[in-house]
């Protein structure tokens, strides 16, 4: 269950097996998470990066889609619970993904939203756009600076891409829209606990990404941990920062349902799986994607929590099951999962990116073109591919962002009304 | 204040006058309401029909945008209140639009959402998509029929277009996506108190629209009033209908701020204005758009609450003010507002529409082409024009709807889990 990259790959392999496949997901859409930050920064609309699950699998007659959330799994009796009901299964594939972790500081969640779902992306978009609106109406200079200070915690791909896009909005999209505040003064601070940005990539890529970020005007703080957070700001590396908006791109944790399995989880709450991705002791139950703590059988390195890892695990397990269903292959003879690193990349604003492909590191425009092509290629559905390309072309040409909508606010709560005495200051 | 059709027209006329213009709106976007039903029925994304107000007026240096909701207006002292603050004005243009009225049955509001804002459209989209999901999981045949019964109250353009689009989704978009329910059995019931659909259009157009609706499979009930409503259904024309979803497209009412003016309102809560759109006794305060109860000075007929009426009133008042500011023209010599009916139209599903233009009534494909051209032409911004055309072309070609996303549901609450005993019934 789970209709992310891993889950859909499994379903695809089982399409022609004659097996009855039930695909359970708590959302009705597959989400292309790598572009979620573009929804959060008003570059794309939610529908551009999401596809209804039912329409993805409509050609597979043996696949049933169920909208719902699995509460727990009983591996011994091969049942899963869901609402008040139980479903039995012969084979189980868990692909429920990962969520954020605030490292024990759950109180920070409301203050510093993460970016894993469309609703979270829309929440961040609303907060970001409101910050500029409120700054425009703010009379007190100090409070205005705080409203225009954004802290992004975590410099993995999501954090780096968010920080770059925020800075770009502030410096390039918004200046002509606002009269009183100079939005280009907005501070974007990227805080990372490790000693480099993009710790999952090559050192060269990290260095280049940091350079790109700093050229854009993002303040990068390495070796810096967030130790406290309140309504007005946070403490990072011992320094107090007044910031109205904090975006959390730091910790991930395996989906909650993993804890109901009664099997060992790793420190991030992911299920420790066998080399064949099955759960130890349960050869017919698999975990794939971000929810699995898997290592590459060849190198012993952990498989990274990226789309490629999920797709490859899904493909691997789907093949094993299809094979055993069709040929009655002995589960003892399953192969071990190996990860093929097809490269990793991150984009920093318009036409800047870094990419590691094999031993090569690409930088600048070439990396950005590569990034664009790869992301469009992996989007599900031709409609979304076409739309995303059009949006990007448009933004590239006129430097505007079309999805600058504040929604989900039935009663706009503008705390500080316009201060007329300062209206001419712009 | 108000950045709808009327408000923006006024602003446009005042752009070069040197006057300081403050544009107050409680949303940050101008919304193209005529296409809102397409967001509610998953054909378009919110950003396709909305444009950030700031970017619309960014070229006008004398226009300041304020995000906020005006609570009350004091005409005598020329002040408006807003949060804890007051703003003084020399000229006031009220263009706050209209909202729904449930004719005294305010309890129906939660049960039967209306369609005036993007948030309402997203709410309806969620309800509609969830109805099909729940029907798919529903074991009880009677409950399943109720889940697939949609009642649209009010057969003005919005009601007619909603009913047509809902029927089209059920009969053409969804059948291949669902396994257990036959979505084409969904009942769409359009309830209207008058004796014809589209009462604002010609009788010929009404007759043709009804025919199109019935050919599509919509049940049209004329001379029928809704007298009761509860969680399970409603009573219309004395008949009890079990329906999980009711959409309200019936009554409109002038925006609430009008009631703070202490001047006579009409039965719909709109401000009764002078022939020059000013408020009686206050020649420097105007009301334009859906919030104004205005009559055509030539015919004595009420100006209809449509985009054209709003645009023409806004243009008219903007010109008066610009003229008096520039030439010091005497307010006594203002012209009276006349409405130029450029035609009205409504679309019913794919490639069917009716249109009244002058003495002519168009029908079928030609009306639909006309409808498409006019709607795209009036969309604000080239980006939205292009996107909407692409979406429509896509849907026309492959009969799919791209924006089928259920968002805004942090915790999906699926009441009835899948009933395995019936899983093979499809």
Cβ–Cβ gap B64/A423 under 8 Å: yes
* Pairwise CB contact (< 8 Å): A417 & B176: no
| CB-based contact, A19 to chain B, within 8 Å | no
φ/ψ of A207, rounded to 5, equals -65, -45
Determine the Cα–Cα distance for residues A151 and A241; give it in Å rounded to an integer: 9
pLDDT of residue A311: 93
Q: Which CATH number fits domain B102-250: 3.40.50.2000, 3.65.10.10, 3.50.50.100, 1.10.3720.10?
A: 3.50.50.100
Q: Quick one: B386 exposed, middle or buried, by C-beta within 10 A (0-12, 13-18, 19+)?
A: middle
Select from B76, B64, B21, B86 the least CA-distant residue to B285. Answer: B76
Do the Cβ atoms of A258 and A246 come closer than 8 Å? no
Q: Would the pLDDT of A425 be above 60?
A: no
- Minimum-distance CB partner of B84 among A122, A133, A417: A417
Q: Which of B217, B183, B243 is nearest to B426 (CA)?
A: B183
Q: What is the mean pLDDT of residues B352-361?
A: 86
Q: Verify whether the Cβ–Cβ distance A28 to B82 is below 8 Å.
A: no
Residue B139 contacts residue B419 (beta carbons within 8 Å): yes
* Interface touch A420/B69, C-beta < 8 Å: no
Measured between CB atoms, does B133 come within 8 Å of chain A? yes
Question: What pLDDT does B407 receive?
Answer: 67
Reported as a single tens digit per residue, the pLDDT across B123-140 is: 999 999 999 999 988 889
Contacts of A137 in chain B (CB under 8 A): 66-68
In chain B, whose CA is at the least distance from the CA of A58? Answer: B177
A340 versus B404: the higher-pLDDT residue is A340
C-beta of residue A232 within 8 angstroms of C-beta of residue A245: no
What CATH number is given for B5-26+68-97+255-333 in this structure?
A: 3.50.50.60
Which residue in the set A68, A119, A404 is minimally distant from B408, CB to CB? Answer: A119
What number of other Cβ atoms are within 10 A of residue B273's Cβ?
Answer: 24
Q: Is the pLDDT of residue B290 over 90?
A: yes
List of chain B residues whose C-beta atoms are within 8 Å of the C-beta of residue A45? 45-48, 403
Contact residues, chain B, for A70 at CB < 8 Å: none
Residue A59, class by beta-carbon neighbours within 10 Å (0-12 exposed, 13-18 middle, 19+ buried)? exposed
**Greatest CA separation for chain A:** 81
- Cross-chain CB nearest to A28 (options B28, B406, B415): B406
B15-21 average pLDDT score: 88
Least confident of A158-162, B408-412, B416-420: B416-420
Between CA B298 and CA B308 the distance in angstroms is 17
> Is it the case that residue B354 has pLDDT exceeding 60?
yes
Mean pLDDT, residues B239-264 taken together: 92
Catalytic residue among A138, A161, A168, A324: A161
Interior angle at CA A291, CA A288 and CA A296, nearest 5: 60
Residues of A in contact with B133 (CB under 8 A): 28, 67
Smallest CA–CA distance, residue A421 to chain B, in Å, is 11
Contact residues on chain B for A407, CB-CB shorter than 8 A: 46, 118-119, 122
Looking at residues A322-340, what average pLDDT do you find? 91
Residue B252, pLDDT > 80, answer yes
Whether residues B47 and A83 touch (CB distance < 8 A) is answered with no
Query: Which range (A322-336, A384-398, B353-367) has the least confidence?
Result: A384-398
Q: Is it the case that residue A417 has pLDDT exceeding 50?
A: no
- DSSP per position, B304-347: PSSHHHHHHHHHHHHHHHHHHHHH---GGGPPPP------EEEE
B369 and chain A: CB distance < 8 Å anywhere? Answer: no
For residue B293, the tally of other CB atoms under 10 A from its CB is 21
Interface probe for A, chosen from B29, B38, B40, B45 (most Cβ of A below 10 Å), is B45
Domain boundaries along the sequence of chain B: 5-26+68-97+255-333, 102-250
Average of per-residue pLDDT values in chain A: 87
A174 and A183 in contact (C-beta within 8 Å)?
A: yes
Pick the closest to residue A277 from A2, A10, A5, A8 (CA basis). Answer: A10
pLDDT at A396: 64
In this structure, what token pair is assigned to residue B114?
């209306």
What's the gap in Å between the CA of B57 and the closest CA on chain A? 8
- Give rounded-to-5 percent helix, strand, coil for chain B: 40, 20, 40
For a pLDDT cut of 90, what percent of chain B falls above it? 54
- Residue count of chain A: 426
Give pLDDT tens digits for B178-210.
888 899 999 999 999 999 999 989 999 999 999
Return residues 45-74 of B near A (CB < 8 Å). 45-48, 50, 52, 54-55, 58, 64-69
Element (H, E) at B361: strand B360-363
Q: Is B161 a catalytic residue?
A: yes
Q: What is residue A156's predicted lDDT score, i.e. its pLDDT?
A: 92
Mutate to test the interface with B, among A418, A425, A426 (most CBs of B within 10 A): A418
pLDDT number for residue B331: 86
Confidence bin at A382 (pLDDT 50/70/90): low
**Residue numbers in A near B50 (CB within 8 A):** 405
Q: Angle B2-B4-B6 (CA atoms, 0-180°, nearest 5)?
A: 90
Rounded to whole angstroms, how far apart are CA atoms A285 and A266? 18
Measured between CA atoms, the residue of chain A closest to residue B406 is A28
| 3-class DSSP assignment, residue A419 | coil
Q: What is the pLDDT of residues A140-149, one digit of tens each?
A: 989 999 999 9
Q: State the pairing for strand pair B360-363/B353-357.
A: antiparallel
- Measured distance CA(B81)–CA(B74) in Å, rounded: 8
Angle, helix A5-13 to helix A307-327, in steps of 10 degrees: 20
Query: Average of pLDDT values for B373-378?
Result: 79
| Gap between the Cα atoms of B167 and B213, Å rounded | 9
Q: Is B425 on the interface with A (CB under 8 A)?
A: no
Partner-chain contact A137 B418, CB within 8 Å: no
How many whole angstroms from its chain centre is CA B226? Answer: 20
Q: How far apart are CA B26 and CA B69, in angstroms?
A: 5
Answer yes or no: is pLDDT of A94 > 50.
yes
A-contacting residues in B 84-113 (Cβ below 8 Å): 84-85, 87
- Using the structure block, give the residue that is written with the tokens 């006349």: B338
Determine the pLDDT at residue B297: 93
Contact check, Cβ <8 Å, B394/A402: no
Tell me the percentage of chain A whose pLDDT exceeds 70: 92
DSSP-assigned beta bridge partners for residue A233 = A242
Residue whose C-alpha is closest to residue A134's, from B22, B28, B30, B1 = B28
Across the A/B interface, how many CB contacts are shorter than 8 Å?
171
Nearest to A28 among B54, B129, B394 (CB): B129
Return the biggest CA–CA distance within chain B: 81
pLDDT of residue B222: 96
Residue B173 confidence (pLDDT) above 90: no
pTM strictly above 0.95: no
In this complex, is the C-beta atom of B175 within 8 Å of any C-beta atom belonging to chain A?
no
Q: Going along A18-108, which residue ranges are E strands?
A: 21-25, 29-31, 50-52, 63-67, 72-74, 79-82, 85-88, 92-94, 98-101
Interface of A with B in 135-174 (CB under 8 A): 136-137
pLDDT at A130 over 60: yes
Identify which of B3, B60, B91 has the alpha carbon closest to the alpha carbon of residue B320.
B91
What fold characterizes domain A101-251+343-398? FAD/NAD(P)-binding domain (3.50.50)
The mean per-residue pLDDT over the stretch B21-45 comes to: 90
For residue B109, pLDDT beyond 70: yes
- A101-251+343-398 and A5-26+68-97+255-333 share a CATH fold: yes
What pLDDT is recorded for position B205?
93
Mean pLDDT of the B225-231 span: 93
pLDDT at B421: 32
| Nearest-Cα residue of chain A relative to residue B59 | A176
B67 to A409: CB separation less than 8 angstroms, yes or no? no
Among B46, B58, B177, beta carbon nearest to A58: B177
Residues 272-291 on B with a CB inside 8 Å of A are: none
The answer for residues whose C-beta is within 8 angstroms of residue A315's C-beta and 6 or more apart is A9, A13
Q: What is the pLDDT of residue B198?
A: 94
Flag if A46 and B408 touch (Cβ within 8 Å).
Answer: no
**Residue A111 confidence (pLDDT) above 60:** yes
Residue A288 vs residue A43, higher pLDDT? A288
Determine the pLDDT at residue A400.
Answer: 61
Residue written as tokens 């604003």? A349
- B216 pLDDT higher than 90: yes
Give chain A positions within 8 Å (CB) of B131.
Answer: none
């Amino acid at each position: 269950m789970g209709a992310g990259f891993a889950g859909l790959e499994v379903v695809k392999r089982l399409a022609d097996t004659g097996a009855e496949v039930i695909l359970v997901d708590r959302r009705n859409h597959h989400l292309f998470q790598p572009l979620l930050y573009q929804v959060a920064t008003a570059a794309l609309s939610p529908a551009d990066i999401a596809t209804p699950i039912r329409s993805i699998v409509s050609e597979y007659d043996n696949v049933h889609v169920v909208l719902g959330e699995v509460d727990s799994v009983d591996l011994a009796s091969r049942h899963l619970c869901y609402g008040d009901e139980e479903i039995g299964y012969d084979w189980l594939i868990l692909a429920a993904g990962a969520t954020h972790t605030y490292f024990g500081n759950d109180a920070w969640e409301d203050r510093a939203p993460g970016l894993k779902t469309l609703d979270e992306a829309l929440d961040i978009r609303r907060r970001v756009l409101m910050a500029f609106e409120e700054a425009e109406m703010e009379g007190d200079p100090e409070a205005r600076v705080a409203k225009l200070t954004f802290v992004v915690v975590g410099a993995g791909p999501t954090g780096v891409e968010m920080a770059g896009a925020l800075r770009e909005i502030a410096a390039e999209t918004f200046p002509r829209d606002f009269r009183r505040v100079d939005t280009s003064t907005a501070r974007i601070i990227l805080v990372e606990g490790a000693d480099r940005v993009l710790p999952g990539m090559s050192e060269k890529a990290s260095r280049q990404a940091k350079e790109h970020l700093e050229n854009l005007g993002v303040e990068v703080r390495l070796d810096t941990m967030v130790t406290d957070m309140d309504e007005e700001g946070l403490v990072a590396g011992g320094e107090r920062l007044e910031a109205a908006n904090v975006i959390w791109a730091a910790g991930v944790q395996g989906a909650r349902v993993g804890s109901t399995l009664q099997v060992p989880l790793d420190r991030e709450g992911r299920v420790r799986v066998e080399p064949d991705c099955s759960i130890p002791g349960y050869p017919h139950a698999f975990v794939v994607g971000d929810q699995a703590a898997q290592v590459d059988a060849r190198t012993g390195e952990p498989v990274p929590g990226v789309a490629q890892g999920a797709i490859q695990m899904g493909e691997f397990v789907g093949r094993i099951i299809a094979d055993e269903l069709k040929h009655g292959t002995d589960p003892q003879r399953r192969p071990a999962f190996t990860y093929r690193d097809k490269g990793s990349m991150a984009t920093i604003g318009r036409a800047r990116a870094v990419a590691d492909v094999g031993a090569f590191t690409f930088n600048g425009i070439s990396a950005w073109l590569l990034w664009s092509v790869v992301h469009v290629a992996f989007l599900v559905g031709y409609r979304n591919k076409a739309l995303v390309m059009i949006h990007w072309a448009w933004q590239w040409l006129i430097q505007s962002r079309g999805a600058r909508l504040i929604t989900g606010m039935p009663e706009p709560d503008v705390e500080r009304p316009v201060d007329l005495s300062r209206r001419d200051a712009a």
